[in-house]
Amino acid sequence: MLSGLNERLNDSSEGAMRVVFLAAAGLGAGLVLRQVLRQIDDLVSAPRRRFRSRHGDVGVGPTYVSKTAYGVVGGAKPPALRDVPTLVAEMRDAFESGVTLPLEHRRATLRAMHAAFAENETAILAAVWEDLRRPEGETLYYDFLLVKTELERLLANLRRWTAPRRVRSFSLLTFPSSQWIEREPRGTCLVIGPFNYPFALTAGVVAGAVAAGNNVILKPSADVPRSSALLFDLFKKYVDPRVVSVIGPGIPGDGADVVTELMRQKLDFVFFTGSTRVGSIIARKAAETLTPCALELGGKNPVFVDTTADLSLAAKQCVWGRTLNCGQQCIAPEYVLCHRSKLEPFIEQLRRWTQTLVPDPYAEGAMGRLVGWNARSGGTNGGANGGARRAAARVAALLATAREGKHGERVVCGGGMDASRGVVEPTVVVCGWDSPLMREEMFAPILCVVPYDDLGEAAARTRALAKPLALYVFSRDRGNVRYILDNTTAGGVTVNGVLYHVGHGALPFGGVGESGVGAYHGEHSVRCFSHEKPTLRKWRDCFDGGLLTDPFFVYGPHDGIKKTLLRAVAERS
């Protein structure tokens, strides 16, 4: 056999070179396989357990004293506007210390945040009540329980969701090798929260950033001063300020100057929740410094009601989803596309469920109020109060447009408001595509109903508008549901319901196009706040003489057999 092999080796043909390559592969395979399990454990498991600690700090917690002295981070008073550059520099230094990286440190922070909520339920509910007069049940679920369960889910899955993930696909070019994807924290992140859910959309976001190994500068909304002040107090009391620092409370104005100054600094990631208009400004500012960002925006979310739909269920869900938080939520149904043959019965169901769910919108606690309902002119938050007055004026103008009916609008229930108290009646308006009510997100408990004759035309008209954050379908016809899913675009969809896809902890929540970029919740939050870093380690010292571990044909000049081998390897890689 050896003499036959020698004869073939002496042959200069291309086939002989193939024999050499295959023989070397067979020789090296036996030696390589003997080390596979040990090598995989070393290469894949070790990155899961080893983290940096550059300054030598090993403790974590609100009472831990760092070896590095900070002037703003951890201060007794909230940072002022002039402190922004120092705050960012100190938070970046804290991240570089490695204090946020070990899993035990991440767990300690998440447990501290959980304790902050578990021990302050009454204070959280009271703060939101003062800011938004939202019914306690809504706040309990959306701003309290959802945050607690998100923290518990992150704690239960932290090791698994942050672990390197093996890539098992075979590549002849890189063989023999081990490869995996590491989830590397982005660094110092800025989280800008909105007013409508002041705890869920701030602490809930921060939790994912912390789980991913980042530290966070949190800027809550100036439009909910009591909730924002409580956030500062809770994070200061429970959480290491090197991991999470809050800025904004105590600074006069609407917060725009604080955000502008923050965006001038060197940040590693920005997470913004708010309007499309402000989101586009954030995106432009981030682009100037090439800072990656996630934008959770909004849009006009459509609801399809076809001829097979349960009209009572559809109406109940639409009224419920539209009146939550006084319509001030980015995933609320904005307009209903109802088949013309079902229009009048559907309107009757809307009237019935509006009366059932919100019989007296002016009663205390019946429904949330417009942001800034209790704002007074003057004071330290004059800018924020001005924004609140603009919100009331905007909603009043929308209701006036509906009542005037210049474009064929017909108010079928509601239509009134008390601007001084921030109360808006749940309002249903039948209108056409050309109505001013259909131009932009209303962010108020006003539901438009647009009749349609052909489902394909309705889907096409929806697709021509800005891409919404959510889309809802009520139908018993699976073909119609499939057609709508295939011919529309949205950040997320619930069929035969509204809002529910956002409440499922395993599903990503985020927009598309004009409604945002990036997604979070659960493991998706860890992914959002991580850089997925591909890593490959070439195996060496396999006693193959480099035939496999350092193949000669990758080096130039490439002619003859080298070209042939390159082609063969590329086709199998």
Residue 330 a catalytic site member: yes
In whole angstroms, give the CA distance from residue 296 to residue 518.
Answer: 7
Which listed residue (261, 296, 334, 441) is catalytic?
296
Burial pattern 479-508, b for ≥16 Cβ within 10 A else e, equals: ebbebbeeebbbbbbbbbebbebbeebeeb
- Count of C-beta atoms within a 10 Å radius of residue 560: 11
Nearest to 368, CA basis, from 138, 144, 143, 133: 133
Residues 6+ apart with CB under 8 A from 475: 304, 305, 306, 308, 309, 481, 484, 495, 496
Q: What is the DSSP letter of 445?
A: S
**CA neighbor of 426 nearest in space, from 357, 474, 500:** 357
Cβ proximity of 351 and 412 under 8 Å: yes
- Secondary structure of residue 338 in the 3-state scheme: strand
Measure the CA angle with vertex 43, ends 38 and 44; round to 5°.
100
Give the closest residue to 100 by CA, choosing from 63, 166, 70, 55.
Answer: 55
Q: Is 152 considered catalytic here?
A: no
Q: What is the DSSP letter of 417?
A: E
SS3 of 314, please? helix
Distance CA 290, CA 123 (A): 39
Residues making up the chain, counted from first to last: 573
**Strand arrangement of the beta sheet that strand 516-517 belongs to:** 244-246, 215-219, 188-192, 269-273, 293-296, 516-517
Among the residues of 420-535, which ranges form H helices? 455-464, 478-487, 500-503, 523-528
Record the tokens describing residue 287, joined without a space.
Answer: 């682009």
Q: Token digits for 335?
A: 């307009």
- For residue 340, the 8-state DSSP code is G
Report CA-CA distances (Å) from 372 to 41, 129, 203, 419, 444: 57, 12, 21, 10, 14
Given 189, 330, 338, 448, the catalytic residue: 330
Catalytic residues: 296, 330
